[in-house]
């Protein structure tokens, strides 16, 4: 067990302030350590423009100038349930200057896992991420399923008012509320907004 070269390296990279890094294409380097007796390996992400579409992919690299290392690796985006989304397997050389990449995904593909991301953003109090998702869910309303129950659960500042305004009767408003565990609401403000809308009918 003392020789780490005989065993796989496992880990999860978490990028805070993702919106800023995506806009600037400057994701931080997450240290991995030593791989195959070569020090200073990092995990990061980068953006590439392919067919006029921005895509993001994780990759592993080091600035050390030493011989390449034979590897087999798996990279993927971790979902809320712990399963890997679009896992990518690669076998070959781990080149020191620029290592292996994971599968490329567009911003839309990343964000379409709205609810998984919302749960993590709420847990870690990443309010800028919640605001970004809220706006994107309104823009991509046709592609997002069950948007309004989640707007209620997470008190989404754009989705929730739009949902409340769209309800024409108290019965329409009551239906989605019946399907929710109201104890899981993030704030009491949501219930106040719903009650206010009830009195407007």
CB 160 within 8 A of CB 151: yes
Q: How far apart are CA 61 and CA 41, in angstroms?
A: 5
Q: Mean of the per-residue pLDDT values for the chain?
A: 71
Look at residue 75 in the predicted model and tell me its pLDDT. Answer: 60
* Residues linked to residue 106 through DSSP beta bridges, in sequence order: 55
Look at residue 99 in the predicted model and tell me its pLDDT. Answer: 44
Calculate the alpha carbon distances from 187 to 18, 62, 110, 194 in Å: 24, 44, 27, 12
Per-residue exposure over 133-146, b if at least 16 CB sit within 10 Å of its own CB, e if not: bbebbbeeeeebee
Interval 13-58: pLDDT, tens: 777 887 788 888 888 888 887 776 777 888 888 887 777 777 777 7
SS3 content of the chain, % helix, strand, coil (to 5): 40, 25, 35
pTM value is: 0.40
Please compute the mean of the pLDDT values over residues 111-130 and round it to a whole number.
Answer: 75
Look at residue 3 in the predicted model and tell me its pLDDT. Answer: 54
Interval 86-95: pLDDT, tens: 555 656 655 5
| 142 pLDDT above the threshold of 70 | no
Please compute the mean of the pLDDT values over residues 106-115 and round it to a whole number.
Answer: 60
């Amino acid at each position: 067990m003392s020789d780490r070269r005989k065993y796989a390296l496992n880990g999860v990279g978490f990028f805070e302030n993702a919106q800023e890094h995506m806009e600037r294409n400057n994701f931080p380097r997450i240290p991995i350590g030593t791989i195959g007796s070569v020090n200073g390996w990092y995990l990061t992400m980068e953006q590439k423009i392919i067919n006029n579409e921005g895509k993001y992919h994780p990759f592993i690299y080091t600035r050390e100038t030493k011989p390449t290392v034979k590897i087999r690796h798996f990279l993927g985006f971790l979902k809320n349930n712990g399963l890997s989304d679009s896992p990518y397997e690669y076998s070959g050389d781990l080149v020191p200057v620029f290592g292996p990449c994971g599968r490329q995904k567009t911003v839309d593909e990343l964000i379409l896992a709205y609810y998984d991301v919302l749960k993590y953003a709420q847990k870690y109090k990443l309010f800028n991420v919640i605001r970004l998702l809220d706006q994107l869910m309104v823009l991509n309303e046709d592609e997002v399923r069950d948007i309004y129950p989640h707007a209620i659960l997470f008190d989404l500042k754009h989705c929730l008012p739009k949902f409340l305004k769209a309800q024409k009767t108290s019965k329409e408003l009551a239906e989605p509320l019946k399907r929710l565990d109201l104890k899981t609401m993030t704030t009491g403000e949501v219930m106040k907004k719903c009650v206010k809308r009830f009195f407007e009918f």
